[in-house]
Structure 1
Amino acid sequence: MKDQIQRMKVLGAGIFSLLLAMGVARFAYTPLLPVMQAQAGLGLAEGGWLAAINYGGYLCGALIASLISDLVLKDRLYRIGMVVAVLSTLMMGLSTDFTVWAVSRFVAGLSTSAAMLLGTGLILNWLIRHDHRSELGIHFSGIGLGIAGCSLAVALMSTWLDWRGQWLAFTAIACVLLVPALAWLPAPDRSTTTKTGQAMEDRPPSALFLRLFMAAYFCAGVGYVISATFIVAIVDRLPGLAGHGTLSFLVIGLGAAPACIVWDLIARRTGELNALILAAVLQIGGIVLPLTVGGLVGAIGGALLFGSTFIGMVSLVLTMAGRYFPTRPAKMMGKMTLSYGAAQIIGPAVTGWLGGVFGSYAGGLYLAAAAMVLGTALLLVLKAVERRDLRALAAAGSAPA
């Protein structure tokens, strides 16, 4: 019983860290983007650049995570990142200067990588070390809850607070989330065995598998970032849907909150790669529904499909990385996120440019869907590579010494 209580506290620390760094520090910007455009003079292209700068910080954080092996250092940087998440949120409400906003978005990206990679790696290491199932569905529910919570908060606060007041209110919320995010995560254990004495050994995939995996994850990053960043502004500009963008973002969060747990269950039955392919196909439908079906039904249906798949893909990929490298999960997580993060810089910048040229972000959704089609094809190729690698491993195991 005591071990189960400790498990829930550790997973709780992860949920609160994602609520703080992914929800407040990162995703509060998405529902506040139209508010800042209307009240703070933020332009279409500038809005895209701020999103790109945020992912630049995330990419730098991913690079740092991929280079660090020491668990104690990871733990220290994770805790610093959580404090930075609070400070970056405060910065957004204290200035109208684009440079200050850009610095805020960059350091918020660093804090996001601290939660997503360092925190997730520490939690997965703890789960494996204590002989718990190495699944992150409960942990990653924090992202969906963060999206839904920020959407609901903006919808409520917009009736009585301007853009600056809302950022300051989010800062107060971030201070509350900071406490369990820091207090409930125990200090890391550097030993190479689990609590029952089993050895923790890394089993890295082949170089070809890793390259294809990173390429597919890059495509998933393009598909994710455009919808996640611009869906509020896109839906608000569709005919007859003005004011419904925040509702779409809320639905994304509501779809994402339980999705990771569901995808863990699907992966148990089908295997992780098959689950990833299914999620990618469903995500394509979620991306294009607002434009092809139209109306509130298309917007809400697309948001629900997108929300229930994008975070499932992230959870499955990072769980796979942790299983390949149980002693240092953040290293492969960092490498995968470098690919995902590069897409998250390119996607918003291109979408912002398209928005400046055509006066709408809608073209970005077609770009996102095309990237996901390519990513799905790469995942199908990856299945063939996995079968090849397994045959080679079996042949090597049966060969005479």
Structure 2
Amino acid sequence: MRHYRLNDGQVIQIEVSHCKNIYSKLFNLRENYSGSECGMDRFHTPALHILGIALSGLAALAVAIGIGRFAFTPQLPLMQADLGLSLSDGGWLAGANYLGYFAGAVLAGRKGMPAAMLMRCGLWAVVASTAAMAVSGPFAWWIAMRFVAGVASAGVLVGTATVILARLAMLGARRLDGLVFAGVGTGIALAGLVCHAGVLLGMGARALWLALAGLALVGTFIAHKVDVRSEAFRSGISMPAASAGQTSRGMHLLVLCYGLFGFGYILPATYLPSQARLLLDDPALFGWVWPLFGIAAALSTLSIAFLARWPRTYVWAGAQAVMAVGVSMPVIAPGLCGLAVAALCVGGTFMLITLLGLQEARQQAGPSAQRLLAAMTAAFAAGQLAGPIAANFLLEIGWPFSSALWLGSAALLASSASLIHFTYQKSFTRENP
């Protein structure tokens, strides 16, 4: 095997034959490599370099989504008890984050927006806005900080999906995409465990926000082990050209289905801990619901390599059907058991769906992937905004909260049916031109 040594402006070239099976071949590579040009002094072989790229993406998503987006979920019951936050106040804070996520996705889709800058600047913004939640001030301050966290989270997601996944694809390590997206579940689980431990230790909500900011800071330093700004990193990224058979209709369908996914999942994702708290007075018990959600999310993305034998959109549709069951479980089986099943079904599919959707976007859009990724993320954010609005409307007209869960399940099933129909129609057209 030939040996390489990188200078600035060069990239690792790995023969395709050595990348056919990443799990069996990756750690057999033994080229000499000096990683100082990419800010990775601790990684001295291509195998560790590739793994380092994946772990950098994992850490970035753990911070941006696991903490920047979802740390508020286990914090909501604590802020209600400790700071007198009402359920309505919690809804406003959640809505500000969703709106920020939408704004961040739109910003990320602007032509010429550097993906690496979105990733790096977004991480620091998450750390700052999380720490700022511990500051005493008017309610508008918390609204502003949750909005900033939402903007930053969307930027990091789009930036990571554009830069890190493209780099892994170039190095023949696409099977590590699942490891990257396991970062979301890892961040959710860690944030949930920090909040759970804080409750048991008698910590207040403000102290826990600082603890979460510290956790985000550690993750940010890990993510920065790979210098995504360097020319050596950027120059090798090449996006696959879109297939001739792909049309804008397929891209529009991706955006629509991804938006329905956001609508369907947001209610259980936001209110699972609060629902558990209504059923259990013991924080030692209900505090485990959110970490369970995160663990299921992290493990689900690692299954992507075993699901590769089936069409990606079929797996996406099946995962949404499982999520639909989870969304309706608190209605079908009220009680702790139903909530546990809901946490597993929703937590075990929502990041898998995210990964599948973004992979499909990269395949369909080719060089325009960043803009399609941003459009899908914006649609997802719009679905998240519409979910609570629809739930509040149903409550205002006298319908129970369960009706909102049924509506979310219906949206997910409609998205699944659309994906299956489109994939079947595309396959039929290809076989019968």
**TM-score, normalised with respect to structure 2:** 0.82
Give 2:63's match in structure 1, choosing from 20, 34, 54.
20
Q: Answer yes or no: is 1:112 the counterpart of 2:189.
A: no
Query: What is residue 140 of structure 2 aligned with on the other side?
Result: 99
How far apart are residue 216 of structure 1 and its match? 1.4
Query: What is residue 178 of structure 2 aligned with on the other side?
Result: 137
- After superposition, the C-alpha distances for 1:293-340 in whole angstroms (9 at most, x for unaligned) are 223222112211111111110000001112234445322111111111
Query: What is residue 100 of structure 2 aligned with on the other side?
Result: 57
Query: What is residue 169 of structure 1 aligned with on the other side?
Result: 211
- After superposition, the C-alpha distances for 1:79-113 in whole angstroms (9 at most, x for unaligned) are 11111000110111102422111111111011111
Which structure has the higher relative contact order (CA within 8 Å, separation 6+)?
A: 1
1: distance between equivalents of 2:136 and 2:243? 48
Structure 1 segments of 4+ aligned residues over 6 angstroms from their partners = 355-360
How far apart are residue 171 of structure 1 and its match? 1.4
Normalized per residue, the structure richer in helix is: 1
SS of aligned partner of 1:183 = coil
Query: What is residue 398 of structure 1 aligned with on the other side?
Result: none
**TM-score, normalised with respect to structure 1:** 0.88
Larger Rg belongs to: 2
RMSD: 2.5
Q: Answer yes or no: is 1:30 the counterpart of 2:86.
A: no
> AA paired with 1:50?
L
- Note the 1:277-292 alignment, pairs <5 A: 277-292=317-332
Query: Structure 1's 360 and 136: CA in aligned 2 closer, same or farther, altered over 3 A?
Result: farther
**Contact kept? 1:66, 1:331, Cα under 8 Å:** yes
Query: What is residue 47 of structure 2 aligned with on the other side?
Result: 4
Query: Structure 1's 367 and 359: CA in aligned 2 closer, same or farther, altered over 3 A?
Result: closer
Query: What is residue 308 of structure 1 aligned with on the other side?
Result: 348
1: distance between equivalents of 2:148 and 2:124? 11
Query: What is residue 15 of structure 2 aligned with on the other side?
Result: none
**Contact kept? 2:118, 2:156, Cα under 8 Å:** no
2: distance between equivalents of 1:43 and 1:358? 20
Q: For structure 1, which runs of at least 5 residues remain unmatched after alignment?
A: 396-401
SS of aligned partner of 1:277 = helix
Query: What is residue 158 of structure 1 aligned with on the other side?
Result: 199
SS of aligned partner of 1:270 = coil
Query: What is residue 209 of structure 1 aligned with on the other side?
Result: 250
Query: Structure 1's 128 and 119: CA in aligned 2 closer, same or farther, altered over 3 A?
Result: same
> AA paired with 1:178?
T
% same residue: 27
SS of aligned partner of 1:269 = coil
How far apart are residue 363 of structure 1 and its match? 4.6
- After superposition, the C-alpha distances for 1:117-141 in whole angstroms (9 at most, x for unaligned) are 1112100111122233266211000
Query: What is residue 311 of structure 2 aligned with on the other side?
Result: 271
Give 1:226's match in structure 2, choosing from 267, 274, 277.
267
**Contact kept? 1:209, 1:386, Cα under 8 Å:** no
> AA paired with 2:267?
I
> AA paired with 2:51?
M
How far apart are residue 364 of structure 1 and its match? 3.5
Give 1:66's match in structure 2, choosing from 109, 112, 117.
109
SS of aligned partner of 2:174 = coil
Query: What is residue 86 of structure 2 aligned with on the other side?
Result: 43
2: distance between equivalents of 1:362 and 1:97? 33
- After superposition, the C-alpha distances for 1:205-232 in whole angstroms (9 at most, x for unaligned) are 3122222222211111112221111111
- After superposition, the C-alpha distances for 1:242-290 in whole angstroms (9 at most, x for unaligned) are 6444322121111111101213421x11110110111011111111122
2: distance between equivalents of 1:234 and 1:356? 20
Query: What is residue 237 of structure 1 aligned with on the other side?
Result: 278
Query: What is residue 255 of structure 1 aligned with on the other side?
Result: 296
